[in-house]
Amino acid sequence: MVVAVPMVFPKQARLKKQSGLTLLELIVTIIIIGVLSATILPRFSGSEGYEEYAYRAQAIATLRNIQLRTMQQRIGDCYEVAIDATRLGIPDQNPCSASRGFSGGFGDDNVNFSIATQMRIESGHDVTFSNVGGNFVMSFDRLGRPLGSCNGGCNIEISGLETITIRIESEGYIYASD
C-alpha cells in the first residue's frame, strides 16, 4: 500500500502574499502627485493671471465677428471698432464718422444686432486694453483688411498680471500673439 505523504517546503520557498508598494511604484506615485499639485493646485487659488487670457479670447471673437459683419455690410452701416482701456466694440453712433470714440454706451443697435460686437472689462478685474497709440478707432474694408489706426497691422495689448497681445495683420488675420 502506498501512502501519500504531504510535501513540506522550507519557509523560504513558500510564496508570500505581497502587501504594499514596490519602491518603483512608490517613486512613480510621488512624481505623479507632485506634477499634479504643481499644475492644478494654483488654479484653485483664484482667477488672477487667467483673466487676461479669457478677455483675449473674447476680444478675438468680437473682432472677428465685427470683421465678418463688415465684409457683408450694407452701405452706410457702421462697423468701426473703438478700443479704450476697458471697452472694445462698435461705438454707439451711426453712420461712421472720422474721429469718434465711445459717447457713453456702445453697441450696434442701429443696425439691428445686439450681441457679439462689444465687450467690457468687469469691475474688480485688474485688466486693461492698450495700444501704442492709446485709445483708437479702426475699421475693416470689404475684404476684411484693417483700416484707420490699424492700417498695415497693429497690436492690442491686454494687461493684468501678465501682458498678452492680440495681433491684427495687414491682410486681416486676427490671432493671439505669444
Where residue 127 sits, what CATH number does that domain have?
3.55.40.10
Say how many domains are in the chain: 1
What pLDDT was estimated at residue 33? 93
Residue 44 maps to a domain? no
Residue 151 maps to a domain? yes
- What long-range pairs does 4-7 form, CB within 8 A, spacing at least 24? none
Q: Print burial letters for 77-110: b (CB count within 10 Å at least 16), e (below 16).
A: bbbbbbbbeebbbbbbbbebeeeeebeeebebee
- Domain with 94, as residue range(s), is 51-177
Closest C-alpha to 163, from 46, 51, 47: 51
Mention every residue, 6+ apart, whose C-beta is less than 8 A from residue 84: 101, 102, 129, 135
Residue 139 maps to a domain? yes
Per-residue tens of pLDDT for the chain, all 178 residues: 667 766 666 565 555 666 777 899 999 999 999 998 888 776 666 666 688 888 899 999 989 988 998 888 777 666 788 888 888 887 765 556 545 555 555 554 444 444 567 777 888 788 888 875 566 788 888 888 998 878 888 888 888 888 899 999 999 999 998 7
Residue 65 maps to a domain? yes
Residue 120 maps to a domain? yes
Residue 11 maps to a domain? no
Closest C-alpha to 155, from 122, 140, 171, 133: 133
Gap between the Cα atoms of 168 and 171, Å rounded: 8
Residue 29 maps to a domain? no
Residue 12 maps to a domain? no
